[in-house]
Amino acid sequence: MRRLKVINAETMATTIQSEIMTNDESRYNHRLHGVLLVSKGYSCLETAKILGHTVKTIENWVNQFNEGSFQGLRDEQRTGRPSSLSDQQLEEIKQILRKDPILLDYEQNLWDGKLLSYHIEKTYGIMISVRQCQRLLHKLEYRQVKPRPISSKSDPKKQESFKKN
């Protein structure tokens, strides 16, 4: 029987490794494979070459497995950076977003990331980037609505006759 080959082997190897690293469960399985290879008699160096990691990483996996069994190889909960805004401030922002910005003496009538960033800094003294405010709007299930421009030179009668039934 002839030996099988993967098409674009080098590119696919990188793609497969990145796919393994993105899924928490597959990362755990990947670590299990590393420990399995060591338990089958492969050295940490050989295992590192096979799996595409450093020797130190393989050693860490084996040590974690020896200390904590299977649970030692699982990913721990990642908390991320704590929010700059308190829960109370978030609730206040939710209430504010229901109001028209013009009622709060802003010159535009729609909330966007830039205006929300300005409002949070002015109200709470907390600097949050425009992009983070856009994420916050998305998290709160607000969608960006852009006002449609109206030409000052347009003729309403011609526009009405142009419209379809």
Q: Can you tell me the mean pLDDT for 126-134? A: 94
DSSP helix/strand/coil, 145: coil
pLDDT band at 4, cuts 50/70/90? low
Give residue 40's pLDDT: 84
Q: Which domain holds residue 18?
A: 9-73
Residue 53 maps to a domain? yes
Residue 140 DSSP class = T
Q: What is the pLDDT of residue 124?
A: 93
Asked if pLDDT for residue 35 goes beyond 70, the answer is: yes
Reported as a single tens digit per residue, the pLDDT across 36-84 is 888 888 889 999 999 889 999 999 988 888 888 778 878 777 778 888 8
Domains identified in the chain, total number: 2
Mean pLDDT calculated for residue range 26-42: 85
Within a domain: 35: yes
**Does 103 share its domain with 57?**
no
* pLDDT of 126 strictly over 90: yes
Residue 16 within any structural domain of the chain: yes
Query: Is residue 114 domain-resident?
Result: yes
> Cα–Cα distance between 158 and 65 in angstroms, integer?
77
51 lies in the same domain as 91: no
- Evaluated on CA atoms 97, 102, 106, 109, the torsion sign reads positive
The contacts of residue 13 (CB under 8 Å, 6+ apart) are 6, 52
More confident residue, 80 or 122: 122
Give me the pLDDT at residue 152, please. Answer: 72
- On whether both 68 and 109 belong to a single domain, the answer is no
Comparison of pLDDT for 68 and 85, the residue scoring more: 85
| C-beta separation of 75 from 24 below 8 A | yes
Report, as an integer, the average pLDDT of 6-13: 70
Sorting pLDDT into bands at 50, 70 and 90, what band is 118?
Answer: very high
The phi, psi pair for 24, rounded to 5°, reads: -60, -45
CB 116 within 8 A of CB 137: yes
Whether 149 maps to a domain, the answer reads no
**In terms of domains, do 46 and 92 share one?**
no
Residue 147 lies in a domain: no
Look at residue 116 and tell me if it is in a domain. yes
Percent of the chain with pLDDT over 70: 88
CA-CA distance, 82 to 104, in Å (whole number)? 29
